[in-house]
Amino acid sequence: MQRRSLLKALASGAIMLHSPTLFASNKVVNKKSLKRVVWILQRGAVDSLHTIIPTFEKNLTSLRPDLMTGLENAFPLDSQFNLHPSLFNIHGLYMRKELSCVVATSTGYKGRSHFDGQDHLESGLENARLESGWLGRAMDTLGSEGIAISKTQPLAFRNSPRGSNFYPSNFNNSIDGLTDDLAALYQYDEKLTKTLNSGIEIKNTLISDGKKHPQVSFSKLCGECADIMKSKPNIQFVMLESGGWDTHKAQNVRLSRELRELDSGIAQLKYGLGKDWKNTLVLVTSEFGRTVRQNGTQGTDHGTAGCIFIAGGSHLGGAILGTWPGLSDAALFEKRDLFPTSNTLSWVSTAIKQHIGLDSTQIKAIFPDHSPYNNKLFNDEKNPLP
């Protein structure tokens, strides 16, 4: 047995122990392939002006002179906006009309606390409630299943028994406890016990050789996510978390690294899903944006409006969505932040409604406070737009 095979086998055991409902049935909710949703939450507040760059704004360089260095090779999206040079694969999706960008959007939260902002986004309500999350309501409304690739169950899944969470480091860092649990589970099956013991022997050999499992990267998590989605067709909703976006200092280097990892992760997700990419919606959001002006440590501080990526094999993409408010002092929110001109949760509501084909009652149950926009993002046979 190869080391990779062993880790995958142990991973399956870990998921089964941690999330037994995922293995209760492979029955698909609908006869057709499920329209699936992958939500990537960028925890830490992403600087949207560094991600989707408004090159037409003449005063951008004076507002952030140090941060514009290294953006000369940014990818053009249209005559007004460029995409950060680390986002090679995302730019490819945009050019193939499988991805759109939304600018100047926010959840409606006006504070600058990461925790409160993330609670607001995960709750999906005008006034965040910690006992209810929008993905949990989506699963309950549609009678489908979901999984969060996270160390703990996120707020977005709360108040629903249909969601589970899984993270690879859970078994990598406590593999001895896992194998004890598996041994107890398999004790009455001779074949499974023999296979497990063989795997333990290989694991002990690897440890004695000084080899360690590498730290899990976001792109690897996206690959794991695609594997789980392919093997479990009953899973309709997936949540992934990405950190490292709180760039108060040295933003150029840090954001280039995180955007490159995001770009690689989305490419891994598309590659891993294969033909099922056409049935998948990918949403990339953060709790809020960052200040328009750079600070004294070549970074940016907590702001208000940010940006969204909407992607998928059937998305009518290749567009910059939203209304640009401008960067003049008079146009800024509280004279420091990009002013929000649309609501992040209404965009999420719009994308999910059209992608899955929900009626007004269903989308209202998921987002009671955030009605969908009229923008046509997907061909919705059930509720076609004019």
pLDDT digits (tens, 9 = 90+) for 328-340: 999 999 999 999 9
What SS3 class is residue 82? Answer: strand
Task: Give the pair of three-digit tokens for residue 137.
Answer: 């309501």
List, as own/partner pairs, every contact residues 370-373 make where C-beta atoms lie below 8 angstroms and the sequence separation is at least 24, other chains included. Answer: 370/124, 370/126, 370/343, 370/345, 370/346, 371/346, 372/346, 373/342, 373/346, 373/347
pLDDT of 211 over the 90 cut: no
How many CB atoms are located within 10 Å of the residue 183 CB?
14
Instruction: Name which of 26, 18, 36 is nearest 178 in CA terms.
Output: 18
Instruction: Name which of 63, 81, 84, 61 is nearest 73 in CA terms.
Output: 84
How many CB atoms are located within 10 Å of the residue 301 CB?
18
pLDDT of 46 over the 70 cut: yes
Q: β-strand 235-242 against 280-286: which pairing, if any?
A: unpaired
Q: Classify residue 22 by its DSSP letter.
A: G
Cα of 262 vs its chain's centroid, Å: 9
pLDDT of 176 over the 70 cut: no
What's the rounded mean pLDDT across residues 12-40?
A: 59
| Vertex 246 angle, CA 241 and 248, to 5° | 170
**Choice between 184 and 314, residue whose per-residue pLDDT is larger:** 314
pLDDT digits (tens, 9 = 90+) for 114-168: 999 999 999 999 998 888 999 999 999 999 999 999 988 999 999 999 999 988 7
Dmax over Cα atoms in the chain, in whole Å?
Answer: 74
pLDDT digits (tens, 9 = 90+) for 73-101: 999 999 999 999 999 999 999 999 999 99
| Vertex 336 angle, CA 335 and 338, to 5° | 100
Q: What is the pLDDT of residue 28?
A: 43
What is the pTM (predicted TM-score) of this model? 0.82
Q: What is the pLDDT of residue 190?
A: 72
pLDDT confidence tier of residue 15, bands split at 50, 70 and 90: very low
Which residues, 6+ apart, have CB-to-CB distance to 69 below 8 Å?
252
Residue whose entry in the numeric block shows the structure tokens 């009518």: 316
Report d(CA 102, CA 52) in Å as an integer.
9
Residue whose entry in the numeric block shows the structure tokens 């690294």: 257
Residue whose entry in the numeric block shows the structure tokens 């955030």: 370
Q: What is the pLDDT of residue 157?
A: 96
Q: Per this entry, what is the length of the chain?
A: 386
Integer-rounded Cα radius of gyration of the chain: 22
How many CB atoms are located within 10 Å of the residue 377 CB?
25
Domains of the chain (ranges, CATH numbers): 36-167+216-366 (3.40.720)
pLDDT digits (tens, 9 = 90+) for 213-259: 456 899 999 999 999 999 999 999 999 999 999 999 999 999 999 99
Half-sphere exposure for 315 (CA within 13 Å, toward CB):
28
Q: Classify residue 371 by its DSSP letter.
A: P
